[in-house]
Amino acid sequence: AKSHGETRDCEQPDPMSLDALFQPLQLGGLTLPNRVIMAPLTRARATPGNVPTALMAQYYAQRADCGLIVSEATAVDPLGMGWYRVPGLWTSDMVEGWAHVTGAVHSAGGKIFAQLWHMGRLVLPDYIGGAQPLGPSPIAGEGQTFAPPPPDYVGGFLPMKAYVVPREMTHGDIAHAVEAYGTGAANALVAGFDGVEIHAANGYLIDQFLQSNANHRSDAYGGDLAGRSRLLREVLEAVTAAVGPGRVGIRISPTSARKGMGDENPDALADAVAALAQEFGIAYMHLIEPIASGFMERPDNPVIERIRAIFRGVVIQNGSFDAPAANACIAAGKADAVSFGRPYIANPDLVMRMRGGHPLAVADMDHAYVGDACGYTDYPLFAGSV
């Protein structure tokens, strides 16, 4: 891994060319100071009992000068929790832990939404007492994920295990999950969050229902797009009832096939989700659609313009952007803001670096998901910054 202070060679843009990126933006009832969004980043620094920590408060406060922070994925229910040391939002201890985080962000002048998460079929039995995970259909996700640590664990990367075949959710299971999203949203406001983002991307529960490769149901929650989007509709109903539509966003990845996902018609899926978002009048849609292949593949047929044509709220785009590309995207009217994920790992002062055309520090990926302060809160500010 490269040292925290090392920077990558890159062309330093003329800061004056980034005017669009640093314009204020109205998002629901919030006025964002700029259009740089911190994307959700799983960092695994909560307690083993999934309670946010003081270290997390420091981490988020360091990055509070962006327009909006979207928190790491935060589980709304124990059955949807499948990562070691990630936070939840279903107990009073979790709410209290998050309150320290949101307080630190607000004291630093920032704004923060909670991303509400249920992993569905991507939960390992190891995390839920050996029970079978839940999914729309008995189809396993592709690949592996981190398993809980063994008894002799002393640090470092966790063991990996393959995903298992989930149990097809009953209508009772679905109703329980919907209720958990609503409760999670209400808890988020108690914890001081400015709003919530429904995680309907990256192959997790809602995405599993939306995409045809993962949903082979023949009941009211499967089949055509109206059926496959019914869970999302019910989650939107529960969440907007709890916090109001102006405090709600949704993150989607309709063109992604990671973890065994994929849809027979991504264009139609994007249209359907955008229509739902417009119907409920939520604040924003957050689209994962890379402009260059990397963590995810760049789609052959992007859907950003389709979403833009249907949804009248704020559109945030994500995926392989640097500052000039983000500015160009916003200036061209393709999106209202752009979110940055991995650049935020090593650059707590990312907005300042972008404004000044300074090079970016390189992340220590050996400590991205393990450890404590190392590779988390110990990245220095750019030399000469104040």
Per-residue pLDDT tens digits for 77-136 = 999 999 999 999 999 999 999 999 999 999 999 999 999 999 999 999 999 999 999 999
- Confirm whether 344 is a catalytic residue: no
State the pLDDT at residue 384: 60
371, with CB counted inside 10 A (0-12, 13-18, 19+), is: middle
Nearest Cα neighbor of 327 from 303, 355, 346 is 355
Residue 294's pLDDT band (cuts 50, 70, 90): confident
DSSP three-state, residue 343: helix
The band of 291, judged by pLDDT with boundaries at 50, 70 and 90, is confident
Angle between helices 230-243 and 171-190 (to 10 degrees): 30
CB atoms inside a 10 Å sphere around CB 229: 21
Q: Is 214 helix (H, G, I), strand (E, B) or coil?
A: coil
Q: Are 179 and 238 in contact (CB under 8 A)?
A: yes
**267 found inside a domain:** yes
Q: What is the mean pLDDT of residues 291-316?
A: 90
Q: Pick 374 or 300 by higher pLDDT.
A: 374
List all residues 6 or more positions away from 130 whose beta carbon is below 8 Å from its beta carbon. Answer: none
Please report the pLDDT score of residue 11 as a whole number: 37
Tell me, yes or no, whether 6 lies in a domain.
no
Q: What's the pLDDT band for 385 if we cut at 50, 70, 90?
A: low
Which run of H or of E encompasses 385?
none
pLDDT of residue 207: 98
As a whole number of angstroms, the distance between CA 118 and CA 84 comes to: 14
pTM: 0.94
| Rounded-to-integer distance, Cα 70 and Cα 245, Å | 17
Residue 250 pLDDT > 70: yes
Q: Is residue 171 part of a domain?
A: yes
Q: Determine the average pLDDT of the residues in 198-210.
A: 98
Q: Is residue 337 part of a domain?
A: yes
- What's the confidence (pLDDT) of residue 7? 36
The pLDDT of residue 5 is 39
- Residue 40: its pLDDT value, please? 98
Residue 72 maps to a domain: yes
Enumerate residues 6+ apart whose C-beta is below 8 A from 294.
319, 320
**What mean pLDDT value characterizes the chain?**
94
What CATH number should be reported for the domain holding residue 132? 3.20.20.70
Radius of gyration of the chain (CA): 20
- Statement: residue 341 has pLDDT above 70: yes
CA terminus-to-terminus distance, the chain: 27
- Please report the pLDDT score of residue 372 as a whole number: 93
Q: Is residue 298 part of a domain?
A: yes
Asked if 120 and 243 count as a contact pair (C-beta separation under 8 A), the reply is: no
- For 161-191, write each residue's pLDDT tens digit: 999 999 999 999 999 999 999 999 999 999 9
Q: What is the mean pLDDT of residues 270-289?
A: 98
Share of the chain above pLDDT 90, in %: 89
Label residue 211 exposed, middle or buried (CB < 10 Å: 0-12, 13-18, 19+): buried
**How many angstroms separate the most distant Cα atoms in the chain?**
61
Total domain count, the chain: 1
pLDDT tens digits, 37-48 = 999 999 999 999
At residue 383, the pLDDT reads 83
Q: Return the pLDDT at 144.
A: 97
Tell me if 1 is assigned to some domain: no
Q: How many residues does the chain have?
A: 386
Catalytic-role residue among 59, 127, 181, 204: 204
Is the pLDDT reported for residue 225 higher than 90?
A: yes
Q: Quick check: 192 pLDDT over 90?
A: yes
Residue 8 pLDDT more than 80?
no
DSSP code at position 143: S
Q: How many CB atoms lie within 10 A of CB 56?
A: 24
Higher pLDDT pick, 14 / 249? 249
What mean pLDDT comes out for the span 280-303? 89
CB 247, CB 283: distance < 8 Å: yes
Does a structural domain hold residue 382?
no
Residue 54's domain comprises 15-367
Structure tokens at 102: 């949101």
Q: Where are the beta strands (DSSP E) in 76-189?
A: 112-117, 134-135, 144-146, 160-162, 167-168
- pLDDT tens across 10-20, in order? 334 444 479 99
**pLDDT tops 70 at residue 74:** yes
Cα distances (Å, whole numbers) of residue 50 to 75, 90, 268, 381: 9, 10, 37, 29
